[in-house]
Amino acid sequence: MNLDACIHERRSVRAYLPKPVPREIIESVLEAGTWAPTGMGSEPWRFVVIEDPALIKYASEETKRAARQTRQPMTERFATDKDVICYEAPVLILVCAEESEIPILERVRLLDCVLAAQNMFLKAYELGLGTCYMGYIDAFLTQPDVLKKLGVPDGYQLMVPFVLGYPKNKQGAGARKKPIILNWFS
């Protein structure tokens, strides 16, 4: 696929077919992630792949529960039995990195994992798959026992959660503002 088409046409997908993603396809998406730039060449990303529907549902339910406890107005949308978190996607991927007490290292590891995620989103799109960044999981799923049950080992931090699967609908056109240039010295 042409790179411009891939960059421009990828959309966050919020409805998935109940169709498993072959293991080798998931592996090639993860592999694309590992080609991202990485601070000090450290390649800190580690992956947890969840295909078990019960565990994905658990992640969604725990996220909704934790979000509702914050009592922020926006969390009203979580008062539903529907999977408004993972959208019943067949795969949930947790990009993790080892914890660090050094703030700059923690930041570099987060940035590395985010860059890896974008590679994976584009690769997934090239392979006919959809993805969606799971910001609500990132924000609300912080309980150590829940993360442990989801396969994040002690000493590791969840950096980027995202879902993956075959989109139910064709991905639509997106729109972006033109680059806003604050300064350009020449």
Ligand X SMILES: Cc1cc2nc3c(=O)[nH]c(=O)nc-3n(C[C@H](O)[C@H](O)[C@H](O)COP(=O)(O)O)c2cc1C
Tell me the β-bridge partners of 44: none
Count Cα atoms within 13 angstroms, Cβ side, for 91: 24
Residues 79-108 that bind ligand X (CB under 6 A): none
136 contributes a contact to ligand X by CB under 6 A: yes
Per-residue HEC secondary structure of 101-121 comes to CCHHHHHHHHHHHHHHHHHHH
- By CB under 6 A, which span of 49-57, 90-98, 130-138, 140-148 interacts with ligand X? 130-138
Cβ atoms within 10 Å, residue 149 = 13
- By CB under 6 A, which span of 41-49, 98-106, 122-130, 134-142 interacts with ligand X? 134-142
Binding pattern for the stretch 148-167 against ligand X, x by CB under 6 A and - elsewhere: --------------------
Closer Cβ to ligand X, 21 or 86, answer by number: 86
59 contributes a contact to ligand X by CB under 6 A: no
Give CA–CA dist 174/90, Å, rounded: 24
122 contributes a contact to ligand X by CB under 6 A: no
Cβ atoms within 10 Å, residue 186 = 2
What residues make contact with ligand X under the rule CB under 6 A?
11-12, 14, 132-136, 174
